[in-house]
Chains A and B, each alone.
Chain A
Amino acid sequence: MSIDLASFTPVRSLAGGLLIGLASAVLYAGAGRIAGISGIAAGLLPRSPSDERAWRALFTVGLLATSALIAGFAPSMFSSPTASLATVVLGGLLVGVGTRLANGCTSGHGVCGLSRRSPRSLASVLTFMFCAGVTVLLTAPHGAAR
């Protein structure tokens, strides 16, 4: 293992993290809701068993509108996955099924759950981080061969 200093962006990544934390704090302290993206997306789908679509829809509108603004001014903040389209679809399906079974993803379990000191979230984060790391390792060139 070596640290990739050329790619390391400590200031921007920390600033972005602080903003994500602020977003989660505003929703939790203001509206009493968990800013978990997989749960918010699932709750907007047709025939979802969840109630209260309104706040989820507004959160999503805020997220998409701001993303569009940023993509307009700074398109380099986005890049496309390098995986093949078939892999992308498989990955999307695994992320959807997995986060719904686990009832959370990087935001709900990672940011909110760890901040809430939830044992379930800690177990989830350790599991998905480990499995993601092993997957990257097995799918060179991103992994060992880099």
Chain B
Amino acid sequence: MKPASIVALVSGALFAAGLTLSGMTRPEKVLGFLSVTGRWDPSLALVMGGAIAVMAPFVYWTRRRARPLFAATLHEPSATSVDGRLLFGSALFGVGWGLVGYCPGPALSALVTGSIPALAFVAAMLAGLWLVDRLAPATA
């Protein structure tokens, strides 16, 4: 197996460990964080804060190196402008996240429990992802 392939596998494994340990795979905990005006559980601010604290120095280091360790190119998103598509999409995502308490990572992770809501959520989410690529693909 190529080093870059092992990296992808290990990254996925670490990601799942982080999601479950942090509480992201418990929708009621996520909704407790989003419920800023009610009884607020600040835990998930530490999830994002902790993740960025680790990731940001690696971004700096990798960019200075100009290429990743085990691949030829650093694939960064090319779009730079804040446009209606970005804001509208983010708004729809926020409503869906707030309705259920799943964002894409925890929902995928929860598939392994075989829970019907997790299966239904992921099936609908994949349909949504697929529909946009079919009907309104990004032009960039």
Encode A1-41 as 1/0 by CB contact (under 8 A) with B: 11110011110111111111111111111111111011001
- Neighbouring B residues of A142 by C-beta, 8 Å: 28, 31-32, 34-35, 38
Partner of A135, one of B11, B98, B128: B98
Query: If the complex has contacts A48-B133, A77-B20, A85-B116, are A94 and B11 also in contact, measured as CB distance less than 8 A?
Result: no
Q: Is the CB of B39 within 8 A of A146?
A: yes
**Total contacts A-B at CB 8 Å:** 513
The smallest C-beta distance from B95 to any residue of chain A, in angstroms, reads 5
A-side interface size class: 35 or more
B68, A67: Cβ atoms closer than 8 Å: no
B20, B27, B85, B99: residue with the most chain A Cβ atoms closer than 10 Å:
B99
Contact flags A96-108 to B (C-beta < 8 A → 1, else 0): 1111111111110
Q: Are B50 and A21 in contact (CB under 8 A)?
A: yes
Given contacts A23-B15, A67-B112, contact A41 B38 (CB under 8 A): no
The B contact surface, by secondary structure, is helix
On whether A22 and B14 interact (CB within 8 A), knowing A32-B73, A120-B86, A139-B99, the answer reads: yes
- What residues of chain A lie closer than 8 Å to B131, measured between beta carbons? 96-97, 100
* B62-96 at interface with A (beta carbon < 8 Å): 62, 67-77, 79-82, 85-96
Interface residues on chain B, size class: 35 or more
- Identify the closest chain A residue to B116 (Cβ): A85
Report the minimum CB–CB distance from B38 to chain A (whole Å).
4
Give Cα A66 to B14, complex, Å. 8
**Smallest Cβ-Cβ distance to A45: which chain B residue:** B130
Say yes or no: B86 contacts A102, CB within 8 Å: yes
A95 touching B18, Cβ below 8 Å: no
For the complex formed, measure the closest distance between the CB of B93 and the CB atoms of chain A, giving whole angstroms: 3
Q: How far is the CA of A71 from the CA of B100 in the complex (A)?
A: 20
| Interface contacts beyond A74-B20, A77-B20: sample of 14 additional A-B pairs, CB < 8 Å, sorted by A | A8-B43, A17-B46, A19-B21, A20-B22, A22-B14, A33-B8, A91-B96, A95-B96, A96-B128, A101-B86, A102-B85, A115-B51, A135-B34, A146-B39
| For the complex of A and B, 10 pairs with smallest distance between CB atoms | A96-B128, A16-B22, A17-B50, A62-B12, A101-B89, A131-B94, A135-B98, A21-B54, A92-B124, A94-B96
Binding site for B on A (CB under 8 A): 1-4, 7-10, 12-35, 37-38, 41-42, 45-49, 54-56, 58-68, 70-71, 74-75, 77-83, 85, 87-107, 109-112, 114-116, 118-120, 123-125, 127-137, 139, 142-146
